[in-house]
A and B are shown apart, each in its own frame.
Chain A
Amino acid sequence: MNEPQQKSGTRVTVVIDASRSSVDTLKTAADIAARVQAHLMALFIEDINLFSLAELPFARELDRTSGASRPLDRHAVTRALQADAERIRQLLENESAQRQIKTSLKVVRGHYVSAAMQAAEETDVVILSHVAGVRLRTVAARMQRRRPARGAGPRPVWTVFDGSPAAQRALAMARDFSIERGAELVVVIARRSFKRLAAEAKDLLGDAPVRFRAIAGGDAGEALRAILAEGSSMFFWPRGESSLFGKLPAFLLDELVCPLIIVS
């Protein structure tokens, strides 16, 4: 494979907030950072809406599991978010010690999607955590864990390929992770350019085993459904205007049940 070179001084950012799963995402981000010898920055987003809500006199929170109602005030929100941030900091320290990488934590108050999009613009690799709503999807999550992903072994690594340099880098990273984890590599290609792009991807992958998945161009929803149906441990998304899928659809951030890695 003609190895697509990662730009020097690569920056890896993982974007996390209180509502999203952080442990798996942080580990994935640390894996990537260690692989490209990059500084890993964790961007913890404190949802500004929560603070606004907490100021209201009638603000209440319903427990995710029991449905119990309890008052929500600014102090409670602050304490909960600080606890989350502290947990993230400890996780980062552990990863830093284990993988010999530099890490930092940045806490920002704002909106997750806009912060994620902005980070994607400014950083080479952005890892977005999936919504912790899996806790609502107990059965689905359990099935996901139980199902040996069409055979024994870990769930597949997915990547979107549109032929762009970013897509080539995403493909290379996805290939490395799939080999390292012994997972199947699934490459999503727009149906209208399937032959050409599949051949190109095949050429880039060399002997590495791969399965191609053709979907209608631009329909990220179809890719999402396939991922949900077959399971996924990582989903790589190449950033760029030339992508056949256009810009990253915001709903992916809410629906995916695995880390989303945006590669520039």
Chain B
Amino acid sequence: MPRIEPLTTEVLYTPCDSSRLPFQDTSDLEEFDGVIGQPRALGAINFGTGIARDGFNIFAMGSSGTGRFTIVKRILEQQAAKRDAPSDWCYVYNFGTPHKPNALRLPAGRGVTLRDDMQQLIEDLGSAIPSAFEAEEYHSRVEKLEQELNERRDQALSQLATEAGEHNIRFLHTPAGFAFAPLDKKGEVIRPESFEQLSPEDKQNIERTVEDLQKRLQRIIRQIPIWQKETREKIKELDREIGRYAADHLIGLIKDRHKDLPEVVAYLDDVERDIVEHVRDFRGESEPQAGLLGIGSKPDALNRYNVNVIIDHDGEQAAPVVYQDLPTYSNMVGRVEYRAQMGTLVTDFMLIKSGDLHRANGGYLILDAMRVLTQPFAWDGLKRALRSREIRIEPLEKALGFMSTVSLEPEPIPLDVKVVLIGERMLYYLLSRYDPEFSDLFKVAADFDERMDRDADSNVQFARLVGRIARQESLLDLDQGAVARLIEHSSRLAEDTEKLSIHMREIVDIMQEADFHARQGAQQLISRGHVQQAIDDKIYRLDRVREHIYEAIRRGTLKIDIKDEKVGQINGLSVLDLGGFSFGQPARITATMRLGSGKVIDIQRETEMGGNIHSKGVLILSNYLASHYARGHPLSMSASLVFEQSYGLVEGDSASLAELCALLSALSGLPIKQSFAVTGSVNQIGEVQAIGGVNQKIEGFFDICRAGELTGEQAVLIPRSNVPHLMLRDDVVAAVAAGEFEIYAVDAVDQAVALLTGVEAGVRDRNDEYPPDSVNGKVERALIGLATRRREYGREREDRDKE
């Protein structure tokens, strides 16, 4: 097997040649208003906004920081500019069914006009109606009606009193009513003793007459309320006549202004009828009512003629694009508010508040998917509105039965909106899998990529985007070197020398910090050094944990050997992610073996400190051993693997190459050079596969070695398929260039084990045997020995059992 050579510095870092960038600084670049690296997502959004079919709402998925919101908003605003402003919407009083306010649609800007017209009408009627009722003619007609009533009553009473007088009987007022009293010859009420002296016939006559008069008086008294009611009706009809006279002209003017809107004209007809019926409200004479829904109580009596403009597009030229940061149920579908009145909660149609769906109706609504899903009932409310294509304001507390007070049922408003949900991919997949309505309502998936190809064209595009960000954020322009360093950093973020990360939030953060440093230095441009300082400072602010761990390794608290050779012991590499920063940490992996039944025990898994992927990697090792070394006999060993001094969850299979090498060392008895660290996963046939975080892992081991002494012997083994991902730090590259540190790329386990032990791995010969002094030969022999020992042990045991 040919000797594996260490990687040269050319492949360890792929710089961006700033001299090839076609500008001196970003101010030379023309304005960039496009989107880079998202052709698939752009196509999906354009399709989704263009198609006018039900259910073609958009789910924009991807990682946060990739510019999803900015891109979506910009495209939607471009689409919205091509459309007219949608209708205004108002809620008005329903004169037939007060608890169900009517919705009125008006052309953009006309809602406010109608509202102002109605407010002016109320004001005008407030003076016109009282004036009409102040007129002499009205008073004289009322007085005439009153006079008729009085005369009718007085005539009846005086006629009765006269008739009583004819019978020598007086009509008297008592404290609580009336009475009839017979008179004596002097005209005074007869004394009892005088009455007693009358003949029985006279007494009987008087009593009969009084009784008759009383009956007639009773009829008159009972008739009086009827006469009063008749008079009230006549006065009410007179009021209607006067009210109609006062209101007709004023309402006619408003009708004329809105004659092109039949619904408004019909509403104004209702208003006119109601004003005529309730003309007293304008005279300040309405009786305080029970106040159903707060309407009818005296101060609010005229409130019912107001217009609640819930959506006003006055002066707007384009369709709305609405983003809701807090998509609660009521923020989306609107709500009915209440006010405290006399110790209770009341409401009316003027307290109906619009929601985002109202505001976005006729346009576009952008929502954060996670926030919609985490707000109680918001997701259900959104789906219901989209499904029914109408916005129905139903108070949540009522729907849930938490509140039994009288409330409103506003007329639903037709909905025509394109909703764009922005969220992580996992949300999209979960919703697609578990919510059967989701696929019907969000048929367009706009998948935002996190990476784009890195080439000369994309470098320039990237530079233009950086220039635009600098202008948007009021930052200094960047020179060639600064842009080149950002491109390199972007590649590092993408973990690929051939890709650029378009996770722009990180780039913007670096730019802002570099701008700070440039301004601190009174520079006119941001240079490469400022960008580097920003990157280094950010790492420094976050690497307290790394420093503590590395210190523990230096002091021997965490045991990592970087020299000598050990059997069954190897340096693995792991990555710790601390949010905005991740770093590599070497970890000692040890393997032990003994006679057994072919199991490799993963202590991490046994203690439930290993993830599923890690367990899978360890199980693969058993099969590798069996298929490579125990094809003709049982795998009669039992081995155990452990991450020493690991107290957290170990996940991933990137240590499986290191674990396998440790096992092979333990089986063969060949020591492993501790100056090496290993990362990579293996499959059953011994191929080494790519892993993540390769840069951080190499840098992590390098830092540990440098803290001691760089001997030139220290090296890291990585999968060859990870070589295109290398974007290592300058100091690592410099150490490699100086021959102080090495990085090897391997394709197979045999290459790795040969490097680690310094012994040829060995290839089977014609007799299907490994060379005896090779690693594989020693391993195979050890396993055969174990199998033999196991067989012998089995016989001895059988013999003992027989005895």
Give Cα distance in the complex from A143 to B210, angstroms: 34
Of A93-101, A134-142, A157-165, A196-204, the segment with at least 4 beta carbons within 8 Å of chain B is A134-142
Given contacts A53-B181, A66-B221, contact A138 B228 (CB under 8 A): yes
Determine whether the beta carbon of A62 is less than 8 Å from that of B217.
yes
* CB-CB under 8 A for A60 and B149, given A53-B189, A139-B231, A146-B285: no
User: How far apart are A85's CB and chain B's nearest CB, in angstroms?
Assistant: 11
CB distance from B235 to the nearest CB of A (A): 8
Residue of A nearest to B221 (CB): A67
Q: Which of A48, A62, A131, A146 contacts B179 (CB 8 A)?
A: A62
Q: Is the CB–CB distance between B175 and A84 below 8 Å?
A: yes
List the A residue with the shortest CB-CB distance to B229: A139
Cβ–Cβ contact A131 & B181, under 8 A = no
Name the interface residues of B211-269: CB closer than 8 Å to any CB of A: 211, 214, 217-219, 221-222, 224, 228, 231-232, 235
Complex Cα distance, B95 from A122, in Å, reads 64
* Nearest chain B CB to A23 CB, angstrom units: 15
B188 touches A52 (CB 8 A): yes
Contact B181 A52 (CB under 8 A): yes
Report the count of interface residues on A (CB-CB < 8 A): 43
Report B-chain residues with C-beta under 8 Å of the C-beta of A53: 172, 179, 181, 189
Pair B150/A49 contact, Cβ less than 8 Å:
no
What are the interface flags for B146-169 relative to A under an 8 Å C-beta threshold, 1 for contact and 0 otherwise? 100110010001000000000000
Q: Please, how many angstroms separate the alpha-carbon atoms of A50 and B179 in the complex? A: 9
A236 CA / B228 CA spacing, docked (Å): 31
User: Is B182 among interface residues, defined by CB-CB distance under 8 A?
Assistant: yes
Nearest chain A CB to B198 CB, angstrom units: 11
Contacts of B200 in A (CB 8 A): none
Chain B residues, Cβ within 8 Å of A19: 173-175
Evaluate contact between A49 and B170: CB separation under 8 angstroms. Answer: yes
A96 → B minimal CB distance (Å) = 24
- Evaluate contact between A61 and B192: CB separation under 8 angstroms: no
Q: Do the beta carbons of A139 and B221 come within 8 Å of each other? A: no
Tell me which residues across on chain B come within 8 A of A81, comparing CB atoms. Answer: 175
Instruction: Check if B176 is an interface residue, CB within 8 A of chain A.
Output: yes
Q: Which residue of A lies closest to B222 (CB)?
A: A67
Q: Which of A10-64 contact B (CB under 8 A)?
A: 18-19, 47-50, 52-53, 55-64
> Do residues A64 and B176 form an inter-chain contact, with CB atoms below 8 A?
yes
Decide: A136 and B174 in contact? CB cutoff 8 A.
no
Contact in complex: B179, A55 (CB < 8 Å):
no
Q: Looking at the assembled complex, report how far the CB atom of B379 sits from the nearest CB atom of chain A, in whole angstroms.
A: 57
The chain A residue with its CB closest to the CB of B213 is A62
Does residue A214 face the partner (Cβ distance < 8 Å to B)?
Answer: no
Closest CB of chain B to A89's CB: distance in Å? 16
Task: Return the chain A residue nearest B193 by Cβ.
Answer: A55
Asked if B207 is an interface residue, CB under 8 A from chain A, the answer is: yes
Select one of B211, B221, B228 contacting A64, CB under 8 A. Answer: B221
Distance between B390 CB and nearest chain A CB, rounded to angstroms: 47
- Chain A residues near B172 (CB-CB < 8 A): 47, 49-50, 53
B210 near A72 with CB under 8 A, answer no
Whether the Cβ atoms of A62 and B181 lie closer than 8 Å is no
Q: CA–CA, A136 to B146, complex, Å?
A: 12
Residues of B within 8 A of A143 (CB): 142-143, 146, 235
B177 touches A61 (CB 8 A): yes
Interface readout for A117-145 with B: 1 if CB under 8 Å, 0 if not? 00000000000000111001111100100
- Closest Cβ of chain A to B70, distance in Å, is 63
- Which listed residue, A55, A66, A137, A147, touches B139 by the CB 8 Å rule? A147
Contact: A63 with B175, CB < 8 Å?
A: no
Question: Is A77 in the interface zone, CB < 8 Å from B?
Answer: yes
> Would you list which residues of chain A between 63 and 89 have a CB under 8 Å from chain B?
63-67, 69, 72, 77, 80-81, 83-84
User: Contacts A19-B174, A84-B175: A58 and B221 contacting too (C-beta < 8 A)?
Assistant: no
Chain A residues near B150 (CB-CB < 8 A): 137, 140
Q: B199 CB to closest chain A CB, in angstroms?
A: 15
Give the chain A neighbours of B143 by CB distance below 8 A.
Answer: 143, 229
A67 and B217 contact, CB distance less than 8 A: yes
Q: Are A139 and B146 in contact (CB under 8 A)?
A: yes
Bound Cα distance from A146 to B236, whole angstroms: 13
Contact of B134 (CB < 8 Å), options: A62, A84, A133, A150: A150
Q: B223 — nearest CB in chain A belongs to which residue?
A: A67
7 more A-B residue pairs beyond the given contacts A56-B195, A58-B207, A80-B175, with a C-beta to C-beta distance below 8 A: A60-B179, A61-B178, A62-B177, A63-B221, A80-B176, A84-B175, A143-B143
A-B contacts, 25 of them at CB < 8 A, read A18-B173, A47-B172, A49-B188, A49-B189, A52-B181, A52-B191, A53-B189, A55-B192, A56-B181, A56-B182, A56-B190, A56-B195, A58-B207, A61-B178, A62-B178, A62-B217, A64-B176, A65-B221, A80-B175, A136-B157, A137-B150, A139-B149, A139-B231, A146-B285, A150-B139
The residues of B with any CB-CB pair to A shorter than 8 Å are 134, 139, 142-143, 146, 149-150, 153, 157, 170, 172-179, 181-182, 188-192, 195, 206-207, 210-211, 214, 217-219, 221-222, 224, 228, 231-232, 235, 285
Taking beta carbons and an 8 Å cutoff, which residues of A are in contact with B?
A: 18-19, 47-50, 52-53, 55-67, 69, 72, 77, 80-81, 83-84, 131-133, 136-140, 143, 146-148, 150-151, 229
